[in-house]
Each structure stands twice: as C-alpha cells, then as structure tokens.
Chain A
Amino acid sequence: MTTSFDVDLLLDTVDQLASKAEQRLFGVQMPDGDLGAVHGLLLEASSIGLLADPDTGRWGVWGAHVDSEGVGLSLAVLRHLGRVCAGLATAVHAQGLGTLLLGSSRRSPGTSAGDRLVAAFSPPFGVALDPRTFGDGLLLVDDRLQGTARYALVADSADLVVLAARTAVGPDACWVVLVLPVGTTGLRLEPTGARIGLRATGMVDVLADHVVVPPGAEHHRGEPAERRLRTTIGCDWLGQAAIALGSAERAVADATAYTWSRVQGGVPIAEHAAIRLLLGRAQHDLSVLAAVLDRHTGTPLTELDPTTLLRWGADARLAAGEHGSRAVTDALQGLGGYGYMDEYGLSKRLRDLAALRVLHGGPDQLVLLRHGLPAAATP
C-alpha cells in the first residue's frame, strides 16, 4: 500500500528530475533545448523508478501497481513532469503504455535482461476500436507480421517494440499483443518527421514486412489481448490529459508571474481587467480538467469496468484538448508579443498542447468512439 508520505517522496524525486530536465530541455536558441539529453534523462528516470520496467512490469508510471492502487500516482507523476516538459513526460508515459500492454507477461525470447526502453506502440484508437478500420494496421497471419503501425511513441534508443495486431481483416478476427526486439529482420522503425511539439518524444511508424514472429513473442491473444488494449488506450488518454494539465498549470503560473512584473498604464498588467479575465478563465479551465482527471484515481484498475475506464479517459482527453489548450493560449496572450517568442517558454507549451490535442486521434474521433461505447456494467 502506498502512503501519502511515499507519494510525496516520489513526487519530490520527480521534481528533482524535472529540475534537471528544465535546464536541458529549454533553450532560447533551440526552442526544444538539447534533445540529445532525453536519453540520459530517461535512464535517470529509470534508475529512480519512474520508468516502467518491461521486465517486472511492477514499478514506474503505469506499472502493475495501478491494478491494485489505481492510476492516481501515475497521473500525478506525469502531471509533475508535464510542468517542465510535456515531451519528456510523454516519453515516460509511452514506456509505461508498452509495459501496460504487455501486462505481467514474462520476457520474450530474443530480448535480454539489459533491455529497458520500450518502443511503445499505442495504437491510434481509431484503428484499435473502430471496426471500420481494422484492416489499416498490423496483421499477424501464420506467424508472419505484415503492415504498418503508425504513430508509435518510441525512445530513440529503444530496445523492444510492443505491438498490437489483428489476426485478419474484419470484425470477426481477434487482437494479438506481441513484443519484438527492434532489430528483428523485416521490422523497420521510420521516424514520422518534424512535428509541432512533444519533440522530446520519438515517434515512428512501425513497418513490418513479412516479419517472422518467433514462438513466445506473442503475449496475449483474443479477449485478454483486447482487454489489455482497451485498458492501455484508456490509460493513454488519461496520461495525455495529465501531461496537458501539468503543462497548462505551468503556463498559467509563468504568465501570472509575468503579469505582475509588467507595468502598463501605471500599474502591473495583472490588475487590468483584460488580463484578469484571461488568467481567471485559464484557472477555471485548469480546475475543470483537474476535476475530470480526478474522477476515479483511487479506484484499482482491476475494479474499474473497461468501458468506464475508456469513457473516463475519453472525457479527460477531450477536456485536455479543450480546457488545457485554452488555458495555455490564454496564458500566452497575457504576455502579448513576448508570449509569442520562444524565450519565454509559453510558445513551447502551446506547441506541446497542440500536439497532445491530436495525439493518437482527433477529438471528433474520440467523441464518436465514446458515443459508441456500450453502457458501463452495473457494479
């Protein structure tokens, strides 16, 4: 059982890591800082137990503790990291998602005990949940993997790739979860190219060209695989929302500090009604997002109906897209021209929020899929 003391201690550790990250990942000359520092920061996150461990699956963000203690701790860690760098937080989040998708499975053949960083494939939820699109992703037929998994979140130095594939096109087929070393013959990780934000997180399309899947690489099949996939997707949305919240909180805090230092009309602009309206609305947006995110944090994941989890995750992601983004853009507006300049950091947060807003699918897709979810099981 995690105590509040343990949580405070952990979050204190997170803040220490975040402080180091801030020095490396913010820079005037390079708006996203030194992205070469990300690998070291992830290893450090691993060494202090923040990064989920694909071997044991126990610790870190989205580690197995969520089954018994709920997702509150993972969300709190991501929120704290998001206050410094949403991209770094997303990298930590991605590692957890890969581990969560694997569940408590054992290590696969072909992987070694030194492998730590996972190329987490968080399948675009349209492909994962919308039967119309089941033919658009990876297919595993006769132990051969074929097709493309798009927008996989990947650390540059990933050792493993966790994938979800269909056994055939069409709704009658089933899901399979498998893990492969990144060097597997026929498996190619192709960077998706320049992005507006979250640049500290690698993103690739995973291309499989008749990849022979060795025995033991398959970890879940059928209903258990689909359950893990749905759980992972729900947690993906929740994590994104927590990162967005952290990033937006920092933006509003920075903007508030600026408005007390900037004088116009003989008084700090913080006293102007226009600024008070901007920042007041931003604070309200933060409260709304935090409230949505807090809904089931204390409930063990095993006690949470998968549909309830998905609905909660969708609500949180939608709230992040709407309220988180608005809080950041209002905060930026409070700085006027300076908000638009990279030097003040608000522009980076706006870019990161813009990327989070569409990560693994746009809001309309989310609304439609949420609407199509079956009614939650009665407790």
Chain B
Amino acid sequence: MSSTELRRSVELLKPLGRVLFDLGEVSLWERETATLPRRLARRRRAYRDFARRELAPLVAGADEDPAGYDPRRLLGVAARAGLQSEQLPPPWGTMPLGVVKDGPLFHEVLKAEELAAVCAGLGLGLLAHGLGLAPLQLCGDLRTMRRWLVPVCRDNRAGRPRLAAFAITEPAAGSDVEDTAGARVARFGTSARRVQGGYVLNGQKVFITGAAYADLVTVFATLEPEGGGAGRVDRDWTCFVVERGTPGFRTGRSEHKLGQRAADATELFLDDVFVPSDNLVAAERSGWAINRNVLNYSRLPVGAIAVGIARGATEAATVYCRRTCLGGKPLLAYQEVQLTLADLWLETMAMRAMVWQGARHIPPAQGISSAVKTFCGDRAVAVAARATEVLADDGAHVRGGVEKRFRDGRLNQIYEGTNQLNRLALVEALWETDLAGGHGTSI
C-alpha cells in the first residue's frame, strides 16, 4: 500500500532511484514465488491451483466425518495431475528436472505447503505416499528401485493410483526408534526371520498414515540376529515391502484424532506374513540407515506442512478481520488487530524462509531437517493459537476457519519424532562439529 504522496515523491527521483524503489503492489505469495527458479515457480503455482480446486471442496466433510471420507477419488486425481509420481524423473515419473541443482526436496516442500494451506489432513493423505516410497527411493539399490519404485511411479503417472505407506511406529515403540540412544534399547516387537525363498514377518504397527488404503507398505522389522539373542533396532532392522492382500497382513482400526483427520492413522497386523526375497529393500540389516535417512528427508516436508497450516490460519484470520465489523468499522482497521496480524504474517514468512533454506541442503542433513521440523511445528501451533485469539469467540467455531488449523498444527509437534526428540537429534547431529567438538563456534 503506497500513499499518493509517496508515489509522487518517488517520481521525483532519478530513473535509477525509481528502479531501486519497490512500489509494486504484488502479493507476498507472488513476490516469494518470483524468487524461485522458473521451473519451481511453475510447480508452486500448479500445486496451489490443484489444492484450491481439488482439496478445498472436501475439507469440511473430511474433517467432520473422517470415517466417511474415501480418499480414492482424490488419489486418482492427484495421480493424474502428476503429484504422486514425483519420486522419479521422466520417463518413469514426474520429478522436476533440476533437482540436482535446486535440492531434491524443494518441489516437495512447495507441494506440502500448498496442500496444507488448504487442508493439512487431505495434504498429508497425499504426501504420506512419498514417505511410503522414500525407503525405495533412498536405499540406492537399483534392483529394489526397478522392482518397486519404477512400476509404482509409472502407474501413478498414468493415472492409476497406487498408494504406499511407511510403517515404523509400534504400540510400545515410537519416538525411541527415531533416535540413536533410544534405538539401542527400544522395545521393538515386529520381527523377521529367514525362510526358504523369503522372510516371515510378525508384529503390529500403529498410527500408520495412509495404511487404510495403501497398496503397499514399507515395513521395518528386526531380523533375527545371526548369532541368536535379542535383535536390536540399530543393528538388525530391515525394511520389507508388504503388499495389500498378502496372507496374514491386515489393517486394524483407524484412530480418532484431534486433527489432520482426513489422513487415517491405522493399525497394521502381521501374523506369519511371508514375503519373498524380492520384497527385501536393499540389504538385510540396513534398515536403521534407511530409516534415519528417510527421516532426514521427510522432516523438511513436515516442516513445510506446518508452514501451510500457519499460512492457512493467517489467511483465514486476515479474511475474517477484513469482513467483520466491530463498532462500525472492520476489525482490520483496529491497531491492536493489525499488530496481531503482522505477527501472524511475519512468523509464517520466517518459517517458510527456514524451510526453503533447509531444502537447499544436498543431501538433507539430520540437524537441519530436525531444526526445521521442530521450529516450524512449534511456530505453527503458536500462529494458529494466535489466529484463534484474534477471531475471539468465532475463533473457537468451525465457521471461523482457524480452529482446525490449531488442531491440525498440534500434530506437527508430535509426528516424525516428537519435537523433544528432534531437538536431541539436532544436538546429536551437531555434537562433533559444533557442540562438544567446538569446531563450528567462534569462541
């Protein structure tokens, strides 16, 4: 917003001075998009258009009645739009060219923000597919990639949705299998033993996003140790692909959650499930490394989901303050309201800046990813809470459009490792170089 006086004053400057002065009335979204390479800017615009067109009509129903929401139509539409095959480049998938230069996750964080800005639950339901495929993508084993990743990406690219899910969490083991110290003594129940032609898996998983509809699940199990004794997560964990319909493999209940309700969190049961050797991902006992790297990659998009939630809350609060009058004038005209809205916008900008900076690290690093996930998760909840406050009583109502953001955001402090655990992961990552080692400090 530039005053007439300011414009007149700028006009008096020399041409160079006028060029250096920004008088453009361009939205923040457009300004930030303009800083991206053209290929990513195009993607960002496409993701936003997709989210507004396909997700927005589903938001209220899916949140109110998640059990009655069937995601399969949306999965098909997303597949046809190329959103579900971005794990591989053409001709197999739709990964944008230039990932080597831009960072392998830049398009993913753009997508995560745009989807979550409309609905974090519906967005998570789509994004969890990428998490399910991540072990296949990151294991670096061409045999695994050809056998599993290529056909899944091809099918999705052709508009035949095939959904993947990622399963590590168990009833008695959650965050502790996501950090080094906890993993050594984690009570991890899902086991694998070698048999003729493959492996037999037994155990249970919980809170598995997308498992209710997944066609295949990347399951982590402790392979029986060579020399006997109890298996250890950090030594014996192994990743397997388990397909829907495999005898002994079934889904249980989907949990009733506080938020991100459109994305199911489902139990999985494995009772003497036989999987052929072909279903082994990479190598036996390589699961710990695969899992850790999957988290390094996934925590950045999770941070971007938080940005989307904060942005959604901020935009909803802004619209409300523009439309709602108090004492004969819009809320937007009150200085105290302007101060709060400024906080919401600047916090969201800061979060996005951190995510985009994090996405430039090639490959993603544990300390960076954990920092992004933790900071953005915490700030998303704070932004959403502040947005509900500015709406006051309407903030507690569904019609206000922000209470869902608060509920949704709260999950970002928990999944992909609690924020407490992620802080410790940051410490672990910086220990040798910046903390105990002190090489990175200037003191």
Contact partner, B413, options A266, A333, A343, A362, Cβ 8 Å: A333
Check B389–A355 contact: CB distance below 8 A: no
Contact with A along B370-408 (1 / 0, CB 8 A): 000000000001000100111111011111000100110
**B434 contacts the other chain (CB 8 A):** no
Asked if B47 lies at the interface with its beta carbon under 8 angstroms from chain A, I say no
Q: How far is the CA of A347 from the CA of B413 in the complex (A)?
A: 14
Within 8 A of B (CB), among A339-372: 339-343, 347, 350-351, 354-355, 357-365, 368
B385 touches A354 (CB 8 A): yes
CA distance A136 to B419 in the complex (A): 43
Q: Assess A133 versus B391: contact at CB under 8 Å? Given A351-B407, A354-B396.
A: no
| Shortest Cβ gap from B179 to chain A (Å) | 10
B186 at the A interface (CB under 8 A): yes
List residues of chain A with CB within 8 A of the CB of B391: 358, 362
B396 in contact with A360 (CB, 8 Å): no
Residues in A with CB closer than 8 Å to B389 are: 357-358, 362-364
| Residue A264 CB within 8 A of the other chain | yes
| Nearest opposing residue in chain B for A338, CB measure | B174
Q: A266-B185, A362-B389 are in contact. Are A274 and B327 (CB under 8 A)?
A: no
| B411 CB within 8 Å of chain A | yes
CB of A239 closer than 8 Å to a CB of B:
no
Q: Does B396 contact A197, Cβ atoms closer than 8 Å?
A: yes
User: Is there contact, CB below 8 Å, between B397 and A265?
Assistant: no
Interface residues of A in 247-280 (CB under 8 A from B): 263-266, 274, 278
| Interface mask (A304-346 → B, CB under 8 Å = 1, otherwise 0) | 0000000000000000000001000100110011011111000
> In the complex, what residues of B have CB within 8 A of residue A33's CB?
none
| Contact of A2 with B by CB under 8 A | no
A28: B residues at CB distance < 8 A: 256
Name the segment of A9-17, A61-69, A124-132 touching the other chain.
A124-132
Picked from B255, B258, B392, B424, the residue with its CB within 8 Å of the CB of A361 is B392
Is A193 positioned at the interface, with any CB of B under 8 Å from its CB? yes
Contacts of B259 in A (CB 8 A): 340
Q: A28-B256, A29-B256, A337-B414 are in contact. Are A354 and B174 (CB under 8 A)?
A: no
Residue on B with the closest CB to A130?
B327
How distant is B390 from chain A, measured CB to nearest CB, in Å? 6
Q: Is A151 an interface residue (CB 8 A)?
A: yes
Separation of A123 and B122 alpha carbons in the complex (Å) = 37
- A194 & B175 in contact (Cβ 8 Å cutoff): no
Within 8 A of A (CB), among B172-192: 172-176, 181-182, 185-187
Residues of A within 8 A of B230 (CB): none
B175: chain A residues within 8 A (beta carbon): 264, 336
Cβ-defined partner of B414 (8 Å) among A325, A336, A354, A358:
A336
Please, how many angstroms separate the alpha-carbon atoms of A329 and B255 in the complex? 20
* Chain B, Cβ-Cβ closest to A196: B403
Q: How far is the CA of A250 from the CA of B410 in the complex (A)?
A: 20
Contact of A358 among B257, B381, B388 (CB under 8 A): B388
A321 — nearest CB in chain B belongs to which residue?
A: B389
The one of B207, B256, B340 in contact with A31, judged by C-beta atoms closer than 8 angstroms, is B256
Q: Give the complex CA separation of A26 and B96 in angstroms.
A: 48
**Interchain CB contact under 8 A, A195 and B420:** no
- Tell me if A150 counts as interface (CB < 8 A to partner B): yes
Cα A368 to Cα B328 in complex, Å, equals 19
- Chain A residues with Cβ below 8 Å from B173 are 264
Contact of A192 with B by CB under 8 A: yes
Q: Is A135 an interface residue (CB 8 A)?
A: yes
**Residues from chain A with Cβ under 8 Å of B418 in the complex:** 333, 336
Is B222 on the interface with A (CB-CB < 8 A)?
no
The contact of A362 among B328, B390, B421, by CB within 8 Å, is: B390
Contact A342 B258 (CB under 8 A): yes
Asked if B396 and A355 sit within 8 Å, CB to CB, the answer is yes
B172 to chain A: closest residue by CB = A263
With a CB–CB cut-off of 8 A, which chain B residues contact A329? 381, 410
> Does B336 reach chain A (CB closer than 8 Å)?
yes
B296 at the interface (CB under 8 A from A): no
Q: What is the minimal beta-carbon distance from B415 to any residue of chain A, in angstroms?
A: 7
CB <8 Å contact, A264 and B182 = yes
Among B381, B397, B414, B421, contact of A192 (Cβ-Cβ < 8 Å): B397
CA distance A342 to B418 in the complex (A): 18
CA distance A124 to B403 in the complex (A): 19
Residues of the B chain whose Cβ atoms lie less than 8 Å from the Cβ of A333 = 413-414, 418-420
Answer yes or no: B28 CB below 8 A from chain A CBs: no
Structural contact, B182 and A265, CB atoms closer than 8 A: yes
Q: How far is the CA of A1 from the CA of B256 in the complex (A)?
A: 48
B398:A337 contact, CB within 8 angstroms? no
Q: Is the CB of A340 within 8 A of B390?
A: no
Q: With a CB–CB cut-off of 8 A, which chain A residues contact B390? A: 362, 364
Shortest Cβ gap from B255 to chain A (Å):
5
- Asked whether, in the complex, the Cβ of A359 is within 8 Å of the Cβ of B185, the reply is no
Asked if B169 is at the interface (CB within 8 A of a chain A CB), the reply is yes
Known: A197-B396, A354-B403. A136 touches B326 (CB 8 A): yes
Do A340 and B410 contact each other (CB < 8 Å), given the known contacts A124-B393, A194-B64?
Answer: yes
Q: How far is the CB of B299 from chain A (nearest CB, A)?
A: 16
Task: Pick the contact of B256: A197, A274, A343 (CB < 8 A).
Answer: A343
Bound-state CA distance A362–B258 (Å) is 22
Q: Is the CB of A341 within 8 A of B388?
A: no
Apart from A361-B393, A364-B390, list 20 A-B contacts with CB within 8 A.
A29-B256, A132-B326, A133-B327, A136-B327, A193-B398, A193-B399, A264-B182, A265-B176, A325-B385, A329-B410, A337-B207, A340-B257, A341-B256, A354-B388, A357-B388, A360-B393, A361-B392, A362-B388, A362-B390, A364-B336
22 CB contacts below 8 A, A to B, read A31-B256, A124-B393, A150-B393, A192-B393, A193-B398, A195-B396, A198-B396, A265-B182, A274-B421, A333-B418, A337-B414, A340-B259, A340-B410, A340-B411, A341-B256, A341-B258, A342-B255, A357-B385, A358-B389, A358-B392, A360-B392, A364-B389
**Shortest beta-carbon contacts, A-B, top 4:** A132-B327, A347-B258, A342-B256, A362-B389
